[in-house]
A and B are shown apart, each in its own frame.
Chain A
């Protein structure tokens, strides 16, 4: 079982959008190493011939009719917004690529 490095954790924290101090990264790297060692044993019995179960019930084809139901009022929709303007959620400038 390979360990997990501090850089690995930093990359995971980036993917998960969580700021972490160097001390936190170190701490988590060692903790995750231990946990991963413990959970990696699932691989012992996960053979090629075992189908995965992603859902406990054998349900399928659950649909709703294409019918419009009332939406929230914009006031209710925006009621919890940390900031709003012009009936829209106001957020800090977005760095990512343009959609």
Chain B
């Protein structure tokens, strides 16, 4: 069944004429029609647009045009990324019905590469959450177990991959929103170096932490997508103006011989599920077996990362989300004769934002307010410096750092909904990467013993050394595949009659 193949194999099938992009796209649209009522990965499916893009890719191929490696391959786009004319809600009621008049740079690059955009995927409202339960449009269900969360905020993107609704997806990662969903769905996700992929057209949650990135079912697929969307963008002042590292080559090499791999002492142990740690340690053994040198390193300030993150991200979001005021776009509540603009703003923001978003806006407003700035926002920025220093020191002794991606496997929908702090702890291992602006990958390390649910293995590399993630990831993936005999997602069952 073609939808179960990897993107790289689909590309080969398109290249050798075995299938067409229209057929491939239709197969995915059929799959979505079949299973998405259960998974709810998509908020919007652009059937017509996707088929038109597919037809165009086929035409170009037939005309003998030089095509990108992913030409004609379908993709799912996280609903936080704007696409001209296509509804973009960010999982919020606030933006219900909004059709942006412009394309994000990521979308422009995907179009230029003739990638077929199937539709927009579900997410925690404005990317705030770790379970996709904060979507105003209802939660996404984990294809491994529909009663469980698919991670968040990009749960829709990761679930679409695990449910074979799309072979590739775009996510965004502010504190782990690509990597943690990848971990709990048995897929691969990369948070590129900050500034490696343009943020233009990514609806901002926390500007200094947000980073768009690729999601796939294999390391190579993810690399192909990463290379497609990466590169300098003059429309994003924080975009890095340098050559993109040779990501795809690294993903094809996968050689860790002689590499120094640092295990971060502070990102394991208490709070981590035993089965997750077991898979993590097995992966380390495999890497050692491939000739890598495993070293333990300490990053003592990481214990403050979560606290600093939950000051910086809310502070920035309180300002970024101020623009949703019912004046120029989005919903408007309470506009009747005699009601002032100020009151309409208040009413709209009350109704348009969900609980978690409001919580963070209020927290951020507090952290930035006069008299508290130094104690909260200012202190958090200092912690950021300390975390960067921890990474810098660790990378003097190692090539990459590793940890479990998330402390646990997928939890039940509703289980942590009323405990923000417990929810925030999901991101304890992913947040330091965002704070320092470096890059990180999550790939599956196997199924946890307790629940037979996927566990994630996180690799971290210095800024602009994204190729190292793919090198190590490819080596580990290959070793794990030999051990398992079949891809981990072959264990996803019970979804749709034809799956």
B partners with A: yes
Q: A-side interface residues toward B, CB under 8 Å?
A: 4, 8-9, 12-13, 15-20, 28, 31-32, 34-36, 38-47, 50-57, 59, 62, 64, 72, 76-77, 79-83, 89, 91-96
B164 on the A face (CB < 8 A): no
Assess whether A53 is in contact with B385, with CB atoms less than 8 Å apart.
Answer: yes
Q: Which of B237, B301, B350, B379 contacts A18 (CB 8 A)?
A: B350
Known: A18-B346, A46-B378, A50-B385. A80 touches B369 (CB 8 A): no
Q: B477: shortest Cβ distance to chain A, in Å?
A: 28
The 5 closest A-B pairs by CB, nearest first: A56-B437, A52-B381, A80-B329, A46-B379, A82-B332
Judge whether A76 and B335 touch: CB under 8 Å: no
Instruction: With CB as the reference atom, state the residue of chain B lying closest to A63.
Output: B237
Contact partner of A82 (CB less than 8 A), chosen from B238, B326, B359, is B326
Nearest-CB residue, chain A, relative to B324:
A17
A63 to B310, CA, bound (A): 31
Determine the distance from Cα of A45 to Cα of B240 in the docked complex, in whole angstroms. 31
CB distance from B216 to the nearest CB of A (A): 25
Partner among A19, A34, A77 whose Cβ is within 8 Å of the Cβ of B349: A19
- Chain B min CB distance to A63 (Å): 8
Interface residues in chain B, defined as those with a beta carbon under 8 Å from any beta carbon in chain A: 98-102, 194-195, 208-209, 234, 237-238, 240, 301, 304, 307-308, 310-311, 318, 322, 325-332, 335, 339-347, 349-350, 353, 358-359, 361-363, 365-366, 369, 375-376, 378-386, 388, 420-421, 435-438, 463
Contact check, B350 vs A19: say whether CB atoms are below 8 A apart. yes
Please determine whether A64 and B346 come into contact, CB atoms closer than 8 angstroms. no
What are 15 A-B pairs with beta-carbon distances under 8 A? Answer: A12-B369, A18-B349, A18-B362, A28-B358, A41-B307, A42-B311, A47-B382, A53-B381, A53-B384, A56-B194, A82-B332, A83-B332, A91-B344, A92-B343, A96-B342
Which applies to chain B's interface (DSSP): helix, strand, loop or mixed? helix
The CA-CA distance from A84 to B226 in the complex, in Å, is 41
Q: Which residues of A contact B345 (CB under 8 A)?
A: 17
Alpha-carbon distance between A42 and B307 when the two chains are bound, in angstroms: 6
**A9 close to B362 (CB less than 8 A):** yes
Task: Name the prevailing secondary structure of the A interface residues.
Answer: loop
Shortest CB distance A62–B (Å): 4
The smallest C-beta distance from B103 to any residue of chain A, in angstroms, reads 13
Who on chain B is nearest to A73 by CB?
A: B101
**Is there an interface contact between B311 and A39, defined as CB atoms closer than 8 Å?**
yes
Asked if residues A89 and B327 are in contact (CB atoms below 8 Å), the reply is yes
Q: Tell whether, in the assembled complex, residue A39 and residue B310 are in contact, meaning their CB atoms are under 8 Å apart.
A: yes
A50, B328: Cβ atoms closer than 8 Å: no
Given contacts A17-B346, A94-B340, contact A80 B99 (CB under 8 A): yes
Q: Say yes or no: A42 contacts B376, CB within 8 Å.
A: yes
Instruction: Report B393 CB to chain A, min CB distance, Å.
Output: 15
Judging by beta carbons under 8 Å apart, are A18 and B353 in contact?
A: yes
Q: Are A15 and B369 in contact (CB under 8 A)?
A: yes
- Nearest to B234 among chain A residues (CB) is A64
Contact A92 B101, beta carbon cutoff 8 Å:
no
New contact pairs (8) apart from A13-B362, A35-B310, A50-B382, CB-CB < 8 Å: A28-B362, A32-B359, A32-B363, A36-B366, A47-B382, A56-B438, A59-B237, A59-B238
